[in-house]
Amino acid sequence: MSLRPLLWFVAFSGLWWILVGGGFEGWYAALLGVAGATAILASLAQRSSPRLRVTGIVGFLPFVVREGVAGGIDVSRRALSPSLPLSPDLLEYEVRLPVGPARSLFVNSISLLPGTFSAQLEGPLLTVHLLASEPDTAERLAELETRAGRVFGIMTSGEGPEVNSP
């Protein structure tokens, strides 16, 4: 029997304790939430899903937070300043990650990049809607894809992104 669920229970309990400011108020409700989160995580782990990598998460979270803030500022500036260019475009990007959690994380995180939105995914071909064409968009997508893969210990193949204009 694995001790991992017990460790998750302790970690979730510690997180709850930190979030409530170090008190034990409402601990009866926290017990239900912590037990539920532990049960869900244990159930997911038994399905032979890829394991999360702490180093991948540490590399992914700051990147998406930074890009998300930059994306919010960019869209706000464009909405409030009619002089900023809007030239909507579509970009086709060939996803290198295999079908699974890493690909889902990548595709669902694209909207955090400035001026981008995942429009359609058919097989490995992803159509990304752009507010304005920027020359480095494909490189930013490739970096996001690499970081999403690392969260699950998956390295992307190939030297660089394969991008086509529709």
Q: Give the model's confidence band at 50: pLDDT under 50 very low, under 70 low, under 90 confident, else very high.
A: low
Percent of the chain with pLDDT over 90: 27
Q: How far apart are CA 72 and CA 113, in angstroms?
A: 9
Q: How far apart are CA 66 and CA 59, in angstroms?
A: 12
Are 62 and 25 contained in the same domain? no
Are 73 and 124 contained in the same domain? yes
Are 90 and 17 contained in the same domain? no
Give the residue from 58, 64, 121, 76 showing the smallest Cα distance to 95: 121
Is the model more confident about 107 or about 155?
107
Mean pLDDT computed over every residue of the chain: 82
In three-state secondary structure terms, 162 is strand
Are 138 and 74 contained in the same domain? yes
Total tally of structural domains belonging to the chain: 2
Residues 132 and 90 sit within 8 Å (Cβ to Cβ)? no
Are 33 and 69 contained in the same domain? no
Residues 88 and 129 sit within 8 Å (Cβ to Cβ)? yes
Write out pLDDT tens, residues 63-77. 999 998 988 888 888
Q: Give the model's confidence band at 163: pLDDT under 50 very low, under 70 low, under 90 confident, else very high.
A: very low
- Residue at 152: amino acid letter: F
- The CATH number of residue 120's host domain is 3.30.70
Give the residue from 127, 126, 123 showing the smallest Cα distance to 90: 127
Are 33 and 58 contained in the same domain? no
In DSSP notation, 43-83 reads: HHHTTTPPPP-HHHHHHHHHHHHHHHHHHHHHHHHHHH-TT
Are 62 and 142 contained in the same domain? yes
Are 9 and 27 contained in the same domain? yes
Is the model more confident about 164 or about 135?
135
Are 30 and 86 contained in the same domain? no
Cα Rg of the chain, angstroms: 20
Any residues with CB less than 8 A from the CB of 53 and at least 6 apart, and which?
150, 151, 152, 153
Write out pLDDT tens, residues 13-31. 888 888 777 777 778 778 8
Any residues with CB less than 8 A from the CB of 137 and at least 6 apart, and which?
91, 113, 115, 116, 128, 130
Write out pLDDT tens, residues 4-14. 788 888 888 88
Most confident of 79-83, 84-88, 139-143: 139-143
Domain assignment of residue 159, given as a range:
54-164
Which range is least confidently modeled, 9-18, 22-31, 112-121, 147-156?
22-31
Are 129 and 77 contained in the same domain? yes
Are 60 and 40 contained in the same domain? no
Are 38 and 61 contained in the same domain? no
